[in-house]
Structure 1
Amino acid sequence: MRRHLVPGLLALLLGVAPAAAQPAATAPAAWPDRPLRLVVPYSAGGATDVGARVLAEALGQVLPQPVVVENRVGAAGMIAAEFVARAPADGHTILFNNTSHAVLRVVVPNAAIDPIRQLAPVAILSEMPMVMLVGNAFPAADGKAFLARIRAEPGRHDYGSTGGGGTLGMAALLFLKTTGLSMNEIPYRGGAPATLDLAAGRIALVFDIALTGLQTAKGGQARAFAVTSPQRSAAAPEVPTWREIGVDAEMVVWQAVFVPSATPAPVQAALHAAIARVQQAEAVRRKWTELGVDRVLALPPAEAVPYVARDVERWEGLMASAQPPR
């Protein structure tokens, strides 16, 4: 995830329609009886953190208690996941994470908790594509020409990644596995420094989440050669999909909230009801769409559980094949 977003982006996102500022009628009388903690596995200012703060701000207007964002960074997201899994199962400590949650067991195989079994998804909030960003100086006019150049020069060109546990690395792995192309991975601590090197011509390729990747392309720092979603993004309809340039794969990045698995069903239902309410606010939906989210969702637990399970099965298999022998 990008460590820093363009100036003013966070302020833009945090606007919520005044109509949402009403008490949540469906919440049990005992919940919430104190502030909620929304735990984020990444640094403040990154795309996942921004999403969490959007949700926290909106929920604070429909719940009788504030929602406070806490950044607990480290171990590819496992530190935050373990903190929430060990918290009291009362709906007051919530994890906000993205698709990278699906690979935690592979990336951190000896963790003290099982993040898939011990955390339950309460709602899938959004889906957005990754953006295939190519440096301005790279000698290719479009995605098809880029693939042809990389295929003709195996092992010569570099791509930026934040490692296998992040969405940047996940997209790159899927891209290379699907196409059979050979490129050199250059590791970075975040998407921001990788994009800076891309703009400077030091690397050829970076995959970035649409929330920030489209801003990079529109700002002229790099070119958007494709999005990874099945359809073109409403935020950038001129950018072709992976399949349109010859990559037989697709990837959407989701954001979701999780609670300890033992959290009572009525509390999970009340939390979901509050989330569904704010996600329906027109102002929130419009701003997410403008910033690259293709689908603004509020999938309930009954749908969120199999949704996450499908991605866990898919990505664990792909990631496990890419891990070095232990």
Structure 2
Amino acid sequence: MRYFGLILGLMVWMLPAAAQTYPERPVRLVVPFAAGGATDVGARVLAEALGQVLPQPVLVENRVGGAGMIAAEYVARSAPDGHTILFNNTSQAVLRVVVPNAPIDPVRALTPAVILSEMPMVMLVANNFPAANGREFIAAVRANPGRYDFGSTGGGGTLGMAALLFRKTAGLEMNEIPYRGGAPATLDLAAGRIALVFDVALTGFQTAKGGQARAFAVTSPERSPAAHEVPSWRELGVDAEMLVWQALFLPSATPAPIRAALHAAVARVQQGEALRRKWTELGVDRVLAMPPAEAERYVAREVERWEALMASVPAAK
């Protein structure tokens, strides 16, 4: 930890003077999804931590719609000075497939400044669904193709991405019910109006622990440290895995020193024991502060993987 702090100090010392004064006014984290959902929760956790180390406040702004493209375009067209930042997750990797005729190419117009975390999705099943575990759920859906509904935020959201991967791998036919965010989908799940929602561990475990639904599986290769009692997909016989990452994106024209300054601020708060413990309690498997160059390669691999996967998955029935 002391070595990490020394490296971080050297990084800050080496930044040009302009970057050392960053930020000069309030910073906005723009979230593509509704307040109360996992992405929004993650943004607010980070905003609170950053607000304690930066000379300016960090605010969260929700810009919902267009499968996340409205927020992405807004940030891409903002001044490239690091004061308007997109806080998004794995859904960014499929945005140009989901919205093919958008006015911007989100892969070229935005650049990842830092990867923040990795966590699984949680398979949440309604309390009134006639199954006691994940294997029974799969058997029931296979025996009744097209009868049951799952909630998603559209093909470009992680809820929909996980459900499509699950449906393809397990050979299930279900009906997709779109929502504007994970929070309203979870409300309908708790009310028994839909059978299934895949939610990010950040909020999914809270839903299960609160008794609003049952956690039947996680999408990580192994069980999550945050909920050892919940089996993995592979334990249900589903030969697939999915880890959701959260990241900060800036307009591509943002100067490298500003990107480095933002990364340095994030790295500083992410090394704090209290914040790391909070992330872990919320279901994050890996707390990261991946720098810009490495983050760019990481996201490029994810774009390649998920765009190919989305192209191979038929529309929900």
TM-score (norm 2): 0.89
The 5 A counterparts of 1:114-263 are: 114-263=105-254
Distance 1:197 1:62, change over 3 A: closer
Indicate whether 1:277 and 2:268 are aligned: yes
1:47 to 18, 26, 38: 38
**What is the CA deviation profile of residues 225-275 of structure 1, one whole-angstrom value per residue up to 9, with x for unaligned ones?**
100011211110110000111110011111100111122222211111111
Q: Which ranges in structure 2 are unaligned for 5 or more consecutive residues?
A: 1-8
Secondary structure, in 3 states, of the residue corresponding to 1:78?
A: helix
Alpha-carbon offset, residue 25 of structure 1: 4.5
Alpha-carbon offset, residue 302 of structure 1: 1.9
1:28 and 1:267 in contact (8 A); partners too: no
Alpha-carbon offset, residue 82 of structure 1: 1.1
The AA in structure 2 aligned to 1:136 is N
CA distance in 2 between partners of 1:119 and 1:138 (Å): 42
1:91 and 1:259 in contact (8 A); partners too: yes
Identity of aligned residues (%): 80
Alpha-carbon offset, residue 123 of structure 1: 0.6
Distance 1:57 1:312, change over 3 A: same
1:81 to 65, 68, 72: 72
The 5 A counterparts of 1:295-310 are: 295-310=286-301
Alpha-carbon offset, residue 132 of structure 1: 0.6
Paired residue total: 302
CA distance in 2 between partners of 1:149 and 1:50 (Å): 33
Alpha-carbon offset, residue 69 of structure 1: 2.3
CA distance in 1 between partners of 2:184 and 2:293 (Å): 39
CA RMSD of aligned residues (A): 1.9
Correspondence for 2:3: none
Alpha-carbon offset, residue 109 of structure 1: 0.9
The AA in structure 2 aligned to 1:111 is A
1:120 and 1:305 in contact (8 A); partners too: yes
Correspondence for 2:282: 291
Secondary structure, in 3 states, of the residue corresponding to 1:110?
A: coil
The 5 A counterparts of 1:6-17 are: none
TM-score (norm 1): 0.87
1:69 to 42, 60, 85: 60
CA distance in 2 between partners of 1:28 and 1:57 (Å): 26
The 5 A counterparts of 1:307-318 are: 307-318=298-309
Q: Which ranges in structure 1 are unaligned for 5 or more consecutive residues?
A: 1-21
2:94 and 2:303 in contact (8 A); partners too: yes
2:168 and 2:313 in contact (8 A); partners too: no
1:30 to 8, 14, 18: 18
Alpha-carbon offset, residue 171 of structure 1: 0.6
Secondary structure, in 3 states, of the residue corresponding to 1:272?
A: helix
Distance 1:232 1:73, change over 3 A: same
2:28 and 2:84 in contact (8 A); partners too: yes
Secondary structure, in 3 states, of the residue corresponding to 2:18?
A: coil
Distance 1:285 1:160, change over 3 A: same
CA distance in 2 between partners of 1:175 and 1:209 (Å): 14
CA distance in 2 between partners of 1:169 and 1:100 (Å): 9
Correspondence for 2:47: 56
CA distance in 2 between partners of 1:242 and 1:211 (Å): 18
The AA in structure 2 aligned to 1:58 is A
2:151 and 2:176 in contact (8 A); partners too: yes
The AA in structure 2 aligned to 1:47 is A
Correspondence for 1:12: none
Distance 1:71 1:204, change over 3 A: closer
